[in-house]
Structure 1
Amino acid sequence: MSAADEILDIVDENDQVIGQSPRGEAYALGLRHRCVFIQARDAQGRIFVHRRTSTKLVFPSLYDMFVGGVVGAGETYDEAALREAEEELGVSGLPGPVPLFKFLYDNGAGQTWWSSVYEVRCELPVAPQVEEVAWHAFLPEDEVERHLADWIWVPDGLAAYERLKDYRSSGV
């Protein structure tokens, strides 16, 4: 099955399931669905950063400071977070990502999804999927901050990153 054929739960503004749709159709019609964003850090606290491949359905060839993706139909956010983190990092046996907060991403142009943000410590050697990740590195947070202005980032990841910084600065 291709990524476009993956079945997603379609949700309302309160994150309640109201139907199901193939991913490609959900994207084309702007149907609200669910996604997970997992900030992975290594033993030194550096953030896993990567550039998406040119074949990705959304945001091809852009940089991201999260691993993650869509939540499949019937899947919980927590299940999707672990699955996506292990898939994209190319590891197994990762500890369960820790949920931090949720927000409704809306770019104002028909792309909207409920987004659950997580963090995980990855002390395993990573081997990202070549179908998903064109380049990767663990970068210190100050280096990520410096590249915010000169790399083109996925917009939903950038929104999640800004919210994560606010979340952490609020002392929660």
Structure 2
Amino acid sequence: MLVELVDEQGRAHGSLSVAAAHTAPGQLHRAFSVLLFDAVGRVLLQRRAAVKTRFPMLWTNTCCGHPEPGQAVVEAAAKRLQEELGVSAELSEVGAFTYQATDPGTGRVEFEYDHVVIGRLDDEVLHPNPDEVADTAWVRPDTLAQDVASEPGRYTPWLSGVLAVIAARG
């Protein structure tokens, strides 16, 4: 699979394999992070599967991934949501941020222009793909923000950026 390389403003300028983009020092590329809310405002988290090559077994947003070069972010996010959790939701993009982090266990690098995508999920049964997801949990956003600040090692390094984009919306 290819990822879309971007500049600091998110403008596309090429493509590269996922593996090459995540090899140190990393190449800035487009990604997305989905965060689903329920009717009472809780957010759906997933714990990444042990077989993941970057940040396995850490808690993170509902799902994430990379659009193919030229693919619309929301379209890619909807497809990935179905692949990882077996659900669909109406999604919308609410912002973006850039982050860079190295997985201490694998040496793989995340250097991503990350589009934050949100949606609402009501009364749908989750069907987590065990190759992607080890566990799921519904959490209050204020509790989550406190936990990420006090125990960052339990969470993926991009989750704080996702939460910051959400908080900035009000």
Alignment correspondent of 2:106: none
Q: 1:12 aligns with which of 7, 11, 21?
A: 7
Q: 1:45 aligns with which of 41, 46, 49?
A: 41
Q: Aligned-pair distance for 1:95?
A: 3.3
- Partner amino acid, structure 1, of 2:118: E
Taking the aligned partners of 2:23 and 2:30, their CA distance within structure 1 comes to 15
Three-state SS of the structure 1 residue aligned to 2:23 is helix
**In the superposition, relative to structure 1, how do residues 108 and 127 fare at CA in structure 2: closer, same or farther (>3 Å)?**
closer
Three-state SS of the structure 2 residue aligned to 1:131 is coil
Alignment correspondent of 1:122: 121
Structure 2 gaps, min length 5: 104-108
Three-state SS of the structure 2 residue aligned to 1:60 is coil
2:73 equivalent to 1:77: yes
Q: 2:158 aligns with which of 137, 156, 159?
A: 156
**What does the per-residue CA deviation read over 1:113-166, in whole Å, with 9 as the maximum and x for residues that have no partner?**
11111111012111111111101121222432343223611001222212322x
Contact 1:66 1:157 in 2 (8 A): no
- Structure 1 runs, 4 residues or longer, greater than 3 Å off: 106-111
TM-score calculated relative to the size of structure 2: 0.83
**In the superposition, relative to structure 1, how do residues 16 and 58 fare at CA in structure 2: closer, same or farther (>3 Å)?**
same
RMSD after superposition: 2.1
Contact 2:32 2:67 in 1 (8 A): yes
TM-score calculated relative to the size of structure 1: 0.83
- Partner amino acid, structure 2, of 1:101: G
Taking the aligned partners of 2:86 and 2:111, their CA distance within structure 1 comes to 28
Alignment correspondent of 1:113: 112
2:98 equivalent to 1:95: no
Deviates more, 1:52-61 or 1:104-113: 104-113
Alignment correspondent of 1:67: 63
Alignment correspondent of 1:3: none
